[in-house]
């Protein structure tokens, strides 16, 4: 499914034609511009398609006197508003007059700000209307040498408005109506024909980008993957490049956003500019869309995608196969079965290695040691921070047990590593070396989170098949997962979930067991699958294998600090 030509969009895709939009052009007079100022007059004109539908005007009695300077500027005196209604009765009437309309004002931030604050003060819900600012519109539509500034009086004279603004609300609103119509005529010649176009024009969305919105018209309002492409003619014939891959639970809405003012990323602006079309693949479920996106990014490496391009670039800790094994930081595991991770960077893996050295006193040297001939110990051995198997003797005899304890911890018990720092943590805190204690705590926290991640993905990798379903608006979302890889997805009504799951299993991708204890998919895909399985309401239909974590791969909620510091000493109260 694709759209690579600028097809004629439907009215639904274009938006609301400006001729069908009802505008309420409003102007306020106030006691000043501060947050404690009050409204003294509201004037508004309702228009549609160039016709005036109605007007609204009233003075408002403020709670404090009008400053003398404001009286001179507007001509509204304290005597004039003495018998006028208060804002409590005026705003409900204005809300009814303006209901369902687009709000227009000259310097709209000022007027809309006062109205919104007034609504909140009297307990009315602000409707959040679309707001058009004729100042912003004029700055985008007019050339710099056409008018010296964008004040209402200047624009009213330039466009020969029938009403001269005079700092009274209704007069200024009438003048703003004439300015609005003149500006709409001007931007209409620039391809602005809908309310959406108008909003984007004031936010300086280019006409070329707005025109490409038609690419989204054939996309469904359901989950799927989309990808922008660039077609060109090369020396060997037509060439196609996938520029960007994304996913959404509503393809049409997501694709439209790329051609609107809501898209702020400069590199995406550039991508949309060079793209010649967009294609999409509808998916049965949101999870399928997530996984398809990951796989496409990994295989195609689109130049405008940043995340998930290096899904296999991870780091691990493993024990070497030697008489006295040592830790090694690697990016590829090979056939190793004694490993831990993954880590997103080599630095994070090296930090975890320091935690392990402190807990198990494994050797840090890279020297190949003999199990028969002793060699001199290093400074760490002399300080007691290494078992010093190089000297043979007791250190060598106990080294195998230490390595076995480490792999046992990796396999399911994170507590020995966390508890190994208790003495050091207490000393640092007692000496008020809180920054060092914080660094140590963060290092142990990273190790702990990696343990949770490690067992989360391994638990999936051990299952030849999981079939699970989750309730959705359409009935059920059903997934078949094999060795941590999404093998099939489908959606079905509630009364046919069992039949649909059996069909999904029959049609699912064949997945071979990797044999290294890791998922058959990328780690990122396995984590997305795990996150879905852990959602509330997900039900297991069929399991082959044990989807379970070791009980001590984590600690009870809230007990992490106690594992680092140990139990609090008993205190005795004295009287």
The answer to whether 361 and 346 have CB atoms below 8 angstroms apart is no
Angle in degrees, 0-180, between the axes of helices 169-188 and 195-202, rounded to the nearest 10: 100
Assigned token pair, 488: 């099939």
- DSSP H helical segments within 413-517, as ranges? 415-419, 422-430, 434-461, 497-507
The answer to whether 170 and 55 have CB atoms below 8 angstroms apart is yes
Three-state SS at 288: helix
Angle in degrees, 0-180, between the axes of helices 195-202 and 134-141, rounded to the nearest 10: 80
Catalytic annotation, pick one of 106, 167, 344, 572 = 167
Cβ-Cβ contacts under 8 Å for 109 (sequence gap 6 or more): 133
- What is d(CA 508, CA 485) in angstroms, rounded to the nearest whole number? 11
Phi, psi torsion values for 457, nearest 5 degrees: -80, -35
Q: Is 167 a catalytic residue?
A: yes
- What is d(CA 301, CA 288) in angstroms, rounded to the nearest whole number? 19
- What is d(CA 88, CA 92) in angstroms, rounded to the nearest whole number? 7
Q: Write out the H or E segment, with its range, that includes residue 339.
A: strand 339-343
Please report where in the chains the tokens 């227009």 appear, as a residue. 104
The answer to whether 129 and 98 have CB atoms below 8 angstroms apart is yes
Cβ-Cβ contacts under 8 Å for 163 (sequence gap 6 or more): 156, 171, 174, 175, 178
What's the first-to-final CA gap in the chain, in angstroms? 82
- What is d(CA 385, CA 356) in angstroms, rounded to the nearest whole number? 11
- What is d(CA 469, CA 472) in angstroms, rounded to the nearest whole number? 9
Strand pairing category for 485-492 and 539-544: unpaired
The answer to whether 443 and 355 have CB atoms below 8 angstroms apart is yes
Cβ-Cβ contacts under 8 Å for 295 (sequence gap 6 or more): 525
Active-site amino acid positions? 167
């Amino acid at each position: 499914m694709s759209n690579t030509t600028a097809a004629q969009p439907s009215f639904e895709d274009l938006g609301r034609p400006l001729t069908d939009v009802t505008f309420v052009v409003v102007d306020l007079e106030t006691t000043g511009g501060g947050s404690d100022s009050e409204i003294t007059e509201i004037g508004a004109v309702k228009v549609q398609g160039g016709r005036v539908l109605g007007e609204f005007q009233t003075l408002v009695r403020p709670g404090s006197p009008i400053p003398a300077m404001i009286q001179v500027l507007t001509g509204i005196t304290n005597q004039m508003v003495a018998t006028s209604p208060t804002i409590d009765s005026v705003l409900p009437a204005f809300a009814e007059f303006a209901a369902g309309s687009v709000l227009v004002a000259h310097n709209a931030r000022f007027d809309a700000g006062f109205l919104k604050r007034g609504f909140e003060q009297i307990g009315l819900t602000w409707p959040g209307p679309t707001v058009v600012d004729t100042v912003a519109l004029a700055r985008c539509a007019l050339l710099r040498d056409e008018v010296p500034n964008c004040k209402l009086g200047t624009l009213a004279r330039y466009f020969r408005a029938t009403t001269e603004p005079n700092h009274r609300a209704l007069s200024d609103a009438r003048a703003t109506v004439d300015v609005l119509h003149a500006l709409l005529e001007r931007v209409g010649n620039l391809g602005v024909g809908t309310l959406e176009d108008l909003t984007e024009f004031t936010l300086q969305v280019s006409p070329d980008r707005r025109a490409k919105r038609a690419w989204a018209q054939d996309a469904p309002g359901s989950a799927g993957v989309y990808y922008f492409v660039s077609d060109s003619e090369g020396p060997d014939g037509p060439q196609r490049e996938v520029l960007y891959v994304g996913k959404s639970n509503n393809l049409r809405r997501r694709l439209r956003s790329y051609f609107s003012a809501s898209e702020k990323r400069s590199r995406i602006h550039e991508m949309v500019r060079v793209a010649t079309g967009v294609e999409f693949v509808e998916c049965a479920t949101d999870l399928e869309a997530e996984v398809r996106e990951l796989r496409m990014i990994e295989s195609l490496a689109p130049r405008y995608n940043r995340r998930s391009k290096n899904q296999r670039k991870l780091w691990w800790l493993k024990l070497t196969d030697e008489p006295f094994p040592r830790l090694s930081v690697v990016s590829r595991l090979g056939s190793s079965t004694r490993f831990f991770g993954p880590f997103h960077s080599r630095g994070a893996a090296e930090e975890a290695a320091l935690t392990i050295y402190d807990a198990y006193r494994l050797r840090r040297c890279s020297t190949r040691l003999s199990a028969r001939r002793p060699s001199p110990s290093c400074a760490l051995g002399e300080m007691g921070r290494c078992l010093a198997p190089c000297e043979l003797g007791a250190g060598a005899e106990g080294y195998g047990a230490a390595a076995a304890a480490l792999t046992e911890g990796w396999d399911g018990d994170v507590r020995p590593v966390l508890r190994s720092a208790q003495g050091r943590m207490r000393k640092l805190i007692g000496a008020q070396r809180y920054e060092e204690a914080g660094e140590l705590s963060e290092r142990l926290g990273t190790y702990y989170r990696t343990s949770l991640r490690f067992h989360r993905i391994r638990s999936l990798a051990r299952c030849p098949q999981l079939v699970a379903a989750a309730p959705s608006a359409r009935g059920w979302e059903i997934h078949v997962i094999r060795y941590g890889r999404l093998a099939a997805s489908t959606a079905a009504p509630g009364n046919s979930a069992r039949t649909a799951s059996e069909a999904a299993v029959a049609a699912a991708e064949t997945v071979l067991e990797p044999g290294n204890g890791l998922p058959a998919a990328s780690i990122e895909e396995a984590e997305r699958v795990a996150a879905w399985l852990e959602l509330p309401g997900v039900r297991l239909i069929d399991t082959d294998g044990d989807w379970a974590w070791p009980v001590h791969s984590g600690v009870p909620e809230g007990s992490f600090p106690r594992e680092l510091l140990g139990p609090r000493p008993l205190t005795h109260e004295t009287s």
